[in-house]
Amino acid sequence: MIQIEGVSHTYRTTDGRDIPALEGVSLEVREREFIALLGPSGCGKSTLLYLIGGFLPIASGSVRVHGTPVTGPGPDRGVVFQHFALFPWKTVLGNVLYGLEKLGVPRDVREKRAREFIDMVGLTGFEESYPSHLSGGMKQRAALARTLAIDPKVLLMDEPFGALDAQTRSLMQAELLAIWHRSPKTVIFVTHDVQEAVYLAQRVFVMSARPGKIKAVVETSFERSDPHIFKSKAFVDKVDEIWGLVRDEAMKAQKGRPF
């Protein structure tokens, strides 16, 4: 589904310095697979996601989706950001309708589709509410409905639950898995939370300290409907294994950071 080969990326600071963010990243993501990108802060997780999304130019290497090189954003790739990115002047329904309007979907079809996805994320009854009247979890549900409504083949999620409280975050993780099972898509999920990555993803790609490389790829296989999954030995052992990989990189990143 997604092929990334030898991708490197460098940012230039305002004073003209070059800061390498990624170096020689190669990976493949299978169709309808749920993967997580995990690593220390500043390792290039979000940069890699934005390259896949077409929001940054690919200067070195290649990114292909279904064999087609990525040259810019497209409706085949939907993005859910950490801070919701909802239009504050539009209602929940208006926000979800927006992408469908841009795609030229007929009015009667887009209205029905928007309401279906609002119901899917549990916001029925809040169609006419504005973002300022919603909790953080409800805003993220609305953002997710807006992205899912345009039916992208790939769902790119940049720490979408990072701004939520622990209880809401846990509920949203379970809800995301339920939605993914009902409407399977290829999902690339950026997070710095090891437990979240292990719970959600089928494979976890652990990235090194900057410049980011793929340090390890770890398979995860659990019965995620088990209400006691977080206490199971297999789950705890997998979290410990991956945390060991991330901790080493986080320590390297810390040593290289100016104080």
pLDDT at 19 over 80: yes
Computed over every residue of the chain, the mean pLDDT equals 92
pLDDT at 258 over 60: no
How does pLDDT run across 77-116, given as a tens digit for each residue?
999 988 778 999 999 999 999 999 999 999 989 999 999 9
> 221 burial class (0-12, 13-18, 19+ CB within 10 angstroms)?
exposed
Can you give the residue ranges of every domain in the chain? 2-76+154-255, 83-151
Class for the domain spanning 2-76+154-255: alpha beta
- pLDDT-derived band at 259, boundaries 50, 70, 90: very low
Q: Indicate the residue type of 121.
A: V
Phi/psi for 64 (5° steps) reads: -125, 140
- pLDDT-derived band at 257, boundaries 50, 70, 90: low
pLDDT at 162 over 60: yes
Give residues with Cβ within 8 angstroms of 80, minimum separation 6.
140, 143, 144, 147, 155, 156, 157, 158, 160
CA 94 to CA 114: how far, in whole Å? 9
DSSP string covering 113-130: HHHHHHHHTT-TT-TT--
How does pLDDT run across 164-198, given as a tens digit for each residue?
888 888 989 999 999 899 888 999 999 999 999 99
How does pLDDT run across 33-83, given as a tens digit for each residue?
999 999 988 899 999 999 999 999 998 999 999 999 999 999 899 999 887
Q: What pLDDT, on the 0 to 100 scale, is given for residue 84? A: 75
Q: What percent of the chain has pLDDT over 90?
A: 71
CA 101 to CA 75: how far, in whole Å? 12
Q: What pLDDT, on the 0 to 100 scale, is given for residue 249? A: 87
